[in-house]
């Protein structure tokens, strides 16, 4: 499967560099469009229906967070990854509350970006351990809603806490000694029970509810 990518960034040079990078992995990703404003990103999302949008925050007309809100409301099946230079906590918190699939800084290297995009294709969140740590630090300011966790099983709670620490499906499977397919099943059940849209919101939920405090395994080391 080749992932269709839409790039939304107001800096032409950055867009061109990102497109050139994507071409080195044409067997995996294909850039189907580029937008220089939030308004254009919304229009192209409707017309092109990409699998993933790499969205900057600082853009004219409508910023990336405003565009993300509209796109998520209309096309929740499109994964949106914030790719920005902003390290502001309020941007990270708002982006997570909107149901993004990941939050990345522009200083990451190409291979790390491809690894994270591949993770999204597998249903994982595109978020580095550093971003997960910042979410943990700012958990009190993250609001994603969701139902109560009372009906989660003990194993589902373990998976939930691992996700909040930024663990991949493979890492969770190794740590809990279960198969990757079982991890995916647990995540699907967790999302359904908590009425959440994606893995990033699952992680934010665990942080918001303080469920990671009792997590004592070594996934975050």
pLDDT at 214: 38
**What is the structure's pLDDT at 127?**
66
Identify whether residues 106 and 151 lie together within a single domain: no
**Other beta carbons less than 10 A from residue 191's beta carbon:** 18
Q: Which residues on adjacent β-strands are paired with residue 123?
A: none
**Nearest alpha carbon to residue 145 among 209, 77, 102, 69:** 209
pLDDT in tens, 11-44: 999 999 999 999 999 899 999 999 999 999 999 9
- The helix, strand and coil proportions of the chain, stated in percent and rounded to the nearest 5, come to 55, 15, 35
115-166 pLDDT, tens digit per residue, is 888 888 877 666 666 666 666 555 545 555 556 777 889 899 899 888 877 7
pLDDT for residue 185 is more than 70: yes
> Domain for residue 156, yes or no?
yes
pLDDT of residue 90: 85
Domain count, the chain: 2
Same domain, 123 and 156: no
Specify whether the CB–CB gap between 41 and 67 falls below 8 A: yes
Domain-embedded: residue 69: yes
Same structural domain, 113 and 17: yes
Q: Is the same domain home to 8 and 108?
A: yes
- 39 and 123 together in one domain: yes
**Which of 37-41, 65-69, 211-215 shows the lowest mean pLDDT across its residues?**
211-215
- State the Cα–Cα distance between residues 73 and 199, nearest whole angstrom: 17
Mean of pLDDT over the chain = 84
Residue 219 reports pLDDT greater than 50 = no
Assess whether 187 and 102 both reside in one domain. Answer: no
Q: How large is the average pLDDT for residues 57-74?
A: 95
Q: What is the pLDDT of residue 55?
A: 97
Considering the domain boundaries, does residue 67 fall inside one? yes
Is 105 contained in some domain?
yes
* 114 and 15 both lie in a single domain: yes
- Which residue range forms the structural domain that includes residue 201? 146-214
Residue with tokens 């249903």: 123
């Amino acid at each position: 499967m080749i992932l269709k990518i839409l790039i939304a960034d107001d800096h032409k040079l950055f867009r061109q560099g990102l497109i050139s990078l994507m071409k080195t992995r044409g067997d995996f990703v294909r850039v189907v469009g580029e937008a220089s404003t939030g308004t254009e990103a919304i229009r192209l999302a409707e017309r092109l229906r990409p699998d993933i949008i790499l969205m900057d925050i600082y853009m004219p007309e409508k910023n990336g967070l405003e565009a993300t809100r509209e796109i998520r409301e209309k096309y929740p099946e499109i994964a949106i990854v914030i790719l920005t230079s902003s390290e502001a906590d309020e941007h990270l918190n708002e982006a997570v509350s909107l149901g993004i699939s990941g939050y990345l800084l522009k200083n990451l290297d190409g291979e790390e970006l491809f690894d994270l995009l591949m993770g999204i294709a597998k249903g994982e969140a595109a978020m580095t351990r550093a971003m997960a740590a910042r979410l943990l630090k700012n958990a009190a300011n993250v609001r994603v809603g969701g139902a109560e966790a009372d009906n989660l099983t003990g194993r589902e709670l373990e998976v939930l806490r691992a996700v909040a620490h930024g663990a991949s499906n493979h890492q969770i499977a190794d740590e809990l000694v279960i198969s990757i397919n079982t991890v995916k099943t647990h995540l699907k059940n967790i999302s359904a029970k908590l009425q959440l849209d994606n893995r990033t919101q699952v992680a934010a939920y665990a942080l918001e509810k303080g469920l990671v405090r009792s997590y004592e395994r070594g996934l975050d080391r």
